[in-house]
Amino acid sequence: GGALRVVLGDQLSRGIASLAGLDKVHDVVLMAEVMGECTYVPHHPQKIAMILAAMRHFAEALRARGVTVRYVALDDEGNTGTLDDEVARAVAAVQPSRIIATEPGEFRVRTAMRGWAENTGVACEIREDTRFLCGIDEFARWAEDRRQLRMEFFYREMRRKHAILMESDKPVGGKWNFDSENRKALPSAITPPQPRRFPPDAATRSVIDLVAARFSGHYGSLADFDYPVTAHDAETGCADFLANRLPYFGDWQDAMSAGAPFMFHALVSAPLNLGLLDPLDLCRRAEAEFTAGRAPLNAVEGFIRQILGWREFIRGIYWLHMPDYASKNALGADLHLPEFYWTGATDMRCMALSIRQTMKFAYAHHIQRLMVTGNFALLAGIDPDAVDQWYLAVYADAYEWVEMPNTRGMALHADGGIVGSKPYAASGAYINRMSDYCGDCAYDVKDATGSRACPFNALYWDFIARHEARFAGNPRMAMPVRSWNRMAAPKREALRARAARLRQALIEGDRL
């Protein structure tokens, strides 16, 4: 027989390594919808629907090109429910000479995949995932002689390597990074444009019905399903971003606004992580918008840094540090995840808005994830395992390689500083400065100790106090530690008492 070529649910790229050199006459492509992958965390129903719908469309496109696809649908009779067993069942049925796969995005799946050869008695070739701009080994080599890994230096090498925004060996505009221009709040007179929508076609609607029947217990609604599930639609969404939002992406990159769940963000993470878009192509097209004079440098550089810099850096960190990374808890955080993360039932308006839009769209933008829900979990000291599970479940773009270093590392500082040199801890003042959330909140952002004081304030100072010894040695944390120590004793006591009441309320499950 020919080769059995396995394509996983987030490997839906035409150029995926496992399909290179495919022999249409003898080879069979295996794609399988399995309960195991749909339930290892309680994924948002829109995430499951998006992945299964995209898988079905991808299989159809392969068939249209004359490829033989063994497609196992979730409801098919005989579906064993796991990738391992579906590979074994396919090997028994197809009798291939070998298996060809592309390395997966999660350590859990990689371990399983490495067992496929022994499991089936057929050789299994695992190919590097060439969709990324920095290979896993390449990142490890870059990391080797460095005491500290910093995204900024990695990013500069990637700019050079891929010749993006470069004038020979110098960065375009004379600077590598224009982030200092990208911290503006949104003026109230400006309303971000509505992103292009992608109403489901018949095939996607039948997946939505299937998901509604099977996963109704999972957090999140299906009603607003709007994800592109083909490369063609993902492309249209991307063009919409480049034309209508990229020019303003930089200015309001860190801003939050109650009526604007998407702000000026690209909304490309879900299709990008599925394989429907190509990261280098995205960067080049953004660069072309600058070259053509249609978007300013601060916007284009900022956008490119997210993809060429952060996305690749985060993936490198994941593979460099797994499996140890998954159990890191440098700050000893141990509180259970409050129920309101799953319901949005809280009076903290920033939290309620971020969580409710997540239920509605399986999406929140970076600053909501980092500085609202992530920051709260950091300050309150919530168990990183529980926080990881939440982020992995609720966002349509979440796979462990990208979710975990962002959550455990960037947001929770549970990796002790591998991803970021200081925790992104902030009080209500930051949220107030960057959003219009606080004005209509039940809590008072200017108060820290009263019974209606913004919870972020006392929790922030309590966080500094609890980790004072650790942070005193960190030059980037020296300022808040000094401010804490300069505060009058009664003020400090009042802050800690308020924080203790808040933490107690979290433990008891009282409404906050």
369 binds, among ligand DLZ, ligand FAD, ligand SF4, none (CB under 5 to 8 A by kind): ligand FAD
User: Residue 160 is encoded by which pair of tokens?
Assistant: 């050079």
106 binds, among ligand SF4, ligand FAD, ligand DLZ, none (CB under 5 to 8 A by kind): ligand DLZ
Enumerate the β-bridge partners of residue 5: 29, 100
Strand spans (E) along 128-195? 166-167, 170-171
Amino acid letter, residue 104: P
98 near ligand FAD, judged by CB under 6 A: no
Residue 34 or 350: the one with the smaller Cβ distance to ligand SF4 is 350
69-72 and 98-102 beta bridge pairing = unpaired
Which parts of 65-124 interact with ligand DLZ (CB under 6 A)? Answer: 83, 104-106, 109
Minimum Å gap between C-beta 249 and ligand SF4 is: 24
129 near ligand DLZ, judged by CB under 6 A: no
410 binds, among ligand SF4, ligand DLZ, ligand FAD, none (CB under 5 to 8 A by kind): ligand FAD
Minimum Å gap between C-beta 302 and ligand FAD is: 9
Sign of CA dihedral 182, 188, 189, 193: positive
Minimum Å gap between C-beta 97 and ligand DLZ is: 22
For 156, residues 6+ apart whose C-beta sits below 8 A from its C-beta are 171, 176
Pick from 43, 321, 349, 365: which binds ligand DLZ (CB under 6 A)?
43
For 310, residues 6+ apart whose C-beta sits below 8 A from its C-beta are 151, 155
User: Residue 262 is encoded by which pair of tokens?
Assistant: 């998407």
Which parts of 228-287 interact with ligand FAD (CB under 6 A)? Answer: 265-269, 272-273
The whole-angstrom separation of Cα 204 and Cα 110 is 29
Pick from 9, 195, 237, 261: which binds ligand DLZ (CB under 6 A)?
9
314 near ligand FAD, judged by CB under 6 A: yes
Residue 175 or 446: the one with the smaller Cβ distance to ligand SF4 is 446
Of 199, 307, 198, give the one whose Cα is nearest residue 246: 307
Phi and psi torsions of 437, nearest 5°:
-75, -40
For 233, residues 6+ apart whose C-beta sits below 8 A from its C-beta are 198, 276
Residues in the chain: 512
Contact residues: ligand FAD, CB under 6 A: 265-269, 272-273, 306-307, 310-311, 314, 365-366, 369-370, 374, 391, 395, 397-398, 402-403, 406-407, 410-411
**Would you tell me which residues interact with ligand DLZ (CB under 6 A)?**
8-10, 32-34, 37-38, 43, 48, 51, 83, 104-106, 109, 399
